[in-house]
Amino acid sequence: MHTQPHKLLLAASIALALGTMGGIATAESQSFTDARQESQIWTTFALNPHLRAADLKVSVMNGKATLTGNVPEEVGRELAKDIAMGVSGIDSVDNQIVVKPDYVPPKPGPERSYGTMVDDATTTAAVKSKLLWSKQADGMTTHVDTRAGKVTLTGNADNQADKDLAGRLAMNTDGVVSVDNQLVVDASKPAAAASTKSSTKEAGGEVADSWITTKVKSTLMYSSNVNGSDISVSTNSGIVTLSGLVDSGAERDLAIELAQNVRGVKSVRSTDLRY
């Protein structure tokens, strides 16, 4: 006689338990989403050169981001809001950042900030790539280390000319403040070095034109004092053609030198590269 009420009571208890568990799972899911969005906004602030020095804080709750801190100009405040609104799932931004014209960012501590470490790693990769693609790479062992834009080169070079070129390639890279060229010229094997360079030159025609074009473009893009986006590059049988507009004769000469230094390049045509 009492079986049906007991079953109904049991079913109700299970439904209540499941509903409670579902609510907990939903709360945990939302908490995870909030944390992910906070991390994404903060990371973008840390990587942005206009905001990384500012002491900005972020909190997110149910799709609403709250920003606090100080910036010296209104443009920084607007940039921070635009970055937050660009994150997927952020519906609104409570921008409490205060504009203080006399605001002085806190001095960096002895340890590099996250943004600086990313910049240094990017600079190191760019310098390494330029050296690796260089005709002088064969026979040269180079270690690249970057700290706050200061590049240190260590290892061996076949001759003084190669050492000097490595220093110029490093110095002419975006983000590089200075170069400490500690490469050691190994004059003990001049014959072997000359043989290696000769073999590389002879094998130059075997390098694919598409590879040469890609590396020349990348070298120009990585380099300071050259607007690589304004220079078109094409390669035919190892002969590189540069075309486009540059700001000065110095920029034109540098673009030509950089292209000539890429492995596999036989010559560079630059009659259509004007200023």
Give percent of the chain with pLDDT exceeding 70. 81
Do 119 and 65 fall into the same domain?
Answer: no
Domain final residue pick, 172, 202, 232: 202
For 101, 199, 201, the CA distances from 160, given in Å and listed in that order, are 50, 20, 19
- Where is pLDDT greater, at 21 or 1? 21
Do 92 and 164 fall into the same domain?
Answer: no
Counting Cα atoms < 13 Å in the Cβ hemisphere of 4 gives 1
- Is 16 a residue whose pLDDT tops 70? no
Predicted local confidence at residue 81, as pLDDT: 96
Question: In whole numbers, what is the pLDDT of the chain averaged over residues?
Answer: 85
pTM (2 d.p.): 0.68
Q: What are the structure tokens assigned to 55, written together? A: 């002491």
Which residues are within 8 A (CB) of 100 and not within 5 positions of it... i.e. 6 or more apart? 70, 71, 72
Do 170 and 223 fall into the same domain?
Answer: no
- Tens of pLDDT, residue by residue over 28-53, are 588 899 999 999 999 999 888 888 88
- Give the length of the chain: 275
Instruction: Say if residues 239 and 267 touch (Cβ distance below 8 Å).
Output: yes
Rounded to the nearest 5 percent, the helix, strand and coil shares of the chain are 50, 25, 25
- Tens of pLDDT, residue by residue over 99-121, are 998 888 777 667 777 888 888 99
Predicted local confidence at residue 24, as pLDDT: 55
- Is 156 a residue whose pLDDT tops 70? yes
- Is 144 a residue whose pLDDT tops 70? yes
Instruction: Residue 259: give its domain's CATH number.
Output: 3.30.70
Do 126 and 198 fall into the same domain?
Answer: yes
How many domains are contained in the chain?
3
Locus of tokens 């004007």:
274
What is the extent of the structural domain holding 225? 207-274
Predicted local confidence at residue 128, as pLDDT: 94
Do 177 and 130 fall into the same domain?
Answer: yes
Confidence of residue 14 (pLDDT cuts 50, 70, 90): low
- Is 238 a residue whose pLDDT tops 60? yes
